[in-house]
Amino acid sequence: MELSEEGLELIKTSEGFRSQVYQDVVGIPTIGYGHRVLPGESFPNGVDEAQATAILTNDVQGAEQAVTRLVTVALTQGQFDALVDFCFNLGEERLAESTLLKDLNAGQYDAAAQQLLLWDHAGGVVVAGLKARRQAEFQLWTQGEAAGQTAS
């Protein structure tokens, strides 16, 4: 399964576009749509939106692979997209260790969807941007087919 256009748009909207390198909330150099600048990478002239989208598409592959590897039950496209966004935002480790994943792999789709909404804090306080992102993931998760059902 691959991230849909709708899932990609969620990441782009949630991350926002920045043409020049900036420090993210934890001080990591970042550019484009949330791309963490890797050792040896340099963007002296910044990036345009097309370049940022290409970088994002490449970065998303790691999140797609993590979701595919960690989830042992069937997913709808919306559920997959929501998990890829979650994983892209918070990292594979957080997904791997989460109650969300435990509930999901136990077939408790509704409980897993509710778990998404709990990941809206940073530094012990609710962050509006994270709250909006988790709500958007929840909407992707619950749209279309019933939770636990996959399209044929």
CA pseudo-torsion sign 89, 90, 91, 92: negative
Q: Could you tell me how far CA 133 lies from the centroid of its own chain?
A: 9
In whole angstroms, what is the distance from residue 33 CA to residue 139 CA? 21
Catalytic, 2? Answer no
* Catalytic residue chosen out of the listed positions 5, 6, 9, 15: 15
In whole angstroms, what is the distance from residue 38 CA to residue 41 CA? 5
| Residue 65 and residue 58 in contact, taking contact as beta carbons nearer than 8 Å | no
Q: How many CB atoms lie within 10 A of CB 10?
A: 23
What are the residue numbers of the active site?
Answer: 15
